[in-house]
Structure 1
Amino acid sequence: MKRRSILLLVALAGLAGCADTGATVPDVSASAVPADGYTWPLRESDLAAGFCFTLVQDLTPKQVIDRLGGKELERVEWPQLVGPGDGEVDASQRYFVGLARLGDWTVIVEDAGELGVTREIVRPLSKGRSLFAYRSDVAGHGRLLVLQDGEVLLDFDSVAPERWGGSRPGDFVPAMRAAGLIGGTDVTEPTGPALSFLADRTGIALTRELLTERTYLLVTVPK
């Protein structure tokens, strides 16, 4: 995340009460999202260096922070979360991520980050539940990761789609084909199909409106 210099001695007492606040998710089915509704990150200048969206089931933001060993900094709006700043403090040692509640899920948002697809970091988050993550890099290549109860079920990289990882990748073939991630032609733009796949599997349509209208807890997580 292209985060700006932040005073790390932020008073967290006021944040503790809002970290676990749930958020109603608009009733938008995947089929109701327009064709370009999942490709919006590719048109966002603030996400030009890449992004990662992670969905964690049945954990509040506060619980996610605790499992990651993270530290709350402040509550921010979308422009503050992904917008340009004057540089991260100790970015080589920490991830800067944003957390928000979406119904029964917590979403972790990163610009140019990769926490969500770093197995050793997110594995504890999936204990007893499901976790889905999608990362797009600066070149538009995509990586899709699915975990359940600490087990990596699917690890799909659009750069090498023939080399799937995970213990049960075949379970996801129908949904991936339906979303357009795999099929008769090479996938040159995986973001739209990947976010469609996430919507199908989680019920959360990560549209621009859904994410940009939320407020987030800005959190640092050790690398």
Structure 2
Amino acid sequence: MRRRSALLLLTLVPLAGCGASGSAEPLASAGTSADYAWPARNADLTSGFCFTLVRGLTEHQITKRLGGDDLERVDWNRVVRPGDGEAGARKRFFMGIGRVGNWSVIVEDNGTLGVTRELVKSLSKNRGEVLAYRGGGGEPGRLVVFRNGDLALDLDTSAPDRLGGNKPDQFRPTLQATGLLGGPAVTDPTASALAFMAARSGVTLTAQVMQQLEYLLVEVPQA
């Protein structure tokens, strides 16, 4: 097993049940001062990454909806070191799933499941919600929001004014507040994208939180 996926999170407000396996307690450092630019400095994510938040589903429920297989419980180091992302794995996605409150956090090392519409839409059915960001690796970022089985927002950070999705206007105020719209172009949009996800979910994707989570390592067929 050489595939890697991982994620770390921290809530902006206290969340019930955070002491359970795979979850993390909120830390005092959470909030507007949270460091969202850390992925660019993380040697384990240099090839790119995809972070996905899924509301209301547990790790096992996510695996079942995606038709995948649970492998084992691992820590951050086991998920990302050493890792080669999806290189050489053309038929399966590999990812790590942790829990923070009512959200599951999926991390992929250079994977794309989180922004693959035909797969991820199933995780948002029945009034669910999915927030995902694919970034790093020297490529433009992609931010998506799925709601109730539909793609509500699709943003390519290289062309932020050309918003896609069924209801992009609903997200404009938050996109502007986090710097993804209406301001000067940013060289690395990751910090703004993770701030957007935190504003929508109440969950902050910081390096400190990621290192505290336990992950369920999962493999999912790509087709």
User: Shorter-normalised TM-score: what interval?
Assistant: 0.7 to 0.9
Judging by fraction of residues, say which structure has more helix. Answer: 1
1:47 & 1:146 partners in 2: Cα distance?
Answer: 22
Matches within 5 A, 1:115-194: 115-127=113-125, 128-194=127-193
Count of aligned residue pairs for this structure pair: 205
Contact 1:52/1:135 (<8 A) preserved: yes
Q: Which runs of 5+ in 1 are unaligned?
A: 5-19
Separation of aligned partners in 2, 1:88 and 1:167: 30
Percent identity over paired residues: 49
Alpha-carbon distance, 1:27 to partner: 5.2
Larger Cα-atom Rg: 1
The one-letter amino acid paired with 1:154 is L
Q: Does 1:23 align with 2:27?
A: no
Which amino acid is the alignment partner of residue 74 of structure 1?
A: E
Q: Matches of residues 21-170 of structure 1 in structure 2 within 5 Å? A: 21=21, 23-26=23-26, 29-33=30-34, 37-85=35-83, 91-127=89-125, 128-170=127-169
Separation of aligned partners in 2, 1:166 and 1:89? 29
Q: Answer 1 or 2: higher relative contact order, Cα 8 Å, separation at least 6.
A: 2
CA RMSD of aligned residues (A): 2.2
The unaligned stretches of length 5 or more in structure 2 are: 5-19
Question: Residue 140 of structure 1: CA displacement?
Answer: 4.6
How far, CA to CA, are the matches of 1:27 and 1:200 in structure 2?
A: 17
Tell me the SS of whatever aligns to 1:195.
Answer: helix
Supply the distance in 2 between the matched residues of 1:32 and 1:87 (Cα, whole angstroms). Answer: 30
Q: Secondary structure at the match of 2:177?
A: helix
Structure 1 contact 175–197 (Cα < 8 Å) conserved: yes
Q: Which amino acid aligns with 1:47?
A: L
Match of 1:3 in 2: 3
The one-letter code of the counterpart of 2:194 is: L
Q: Distance in 2 between matches of 1:38 and 1:47?
A: 14
- The answer as to whether partners of 2:22 and 2:213 remain within 8 angstroms in 1 is no
Q: Secondary structure at the match of 1:213?
A: coil
Q: Which amino acid aligns with 2:72?
A: E
Which whole-Å CA distance do the structure 2 matches of 1:196 and 1:56 have between them? Answer: 16
CA contact (8 A) 1:30 1:199 kept: no
Is 1:218–2:214 an aligned residue pair?
no
User: In the aligned structure 2, how far is the partner of 1:100 from the partner of 1:69?
Assistant: 18
Q: Tell me the TM-score normalized by structure 2.
A: 0.85
Alpha-carbon shift at residue 32 of structure 1 (Å): 4.0
**Is this contact kept in 1: 2:49–2:109, CA < 8 A?**
yes
Aligned-pair CA distance for 1:83: 1.6
User: Against the structure 1 CA distance between its residues 211 and 24, is the aligned structure 2 distance closer, same or farther, given a 3 Å change threshold?
Assistant: closer
Amino acid at match of 1:174: P
Kept in 2, the 8 Å contact 1:30–1:203? The answer is no
SS of 1:30's partner is: coil
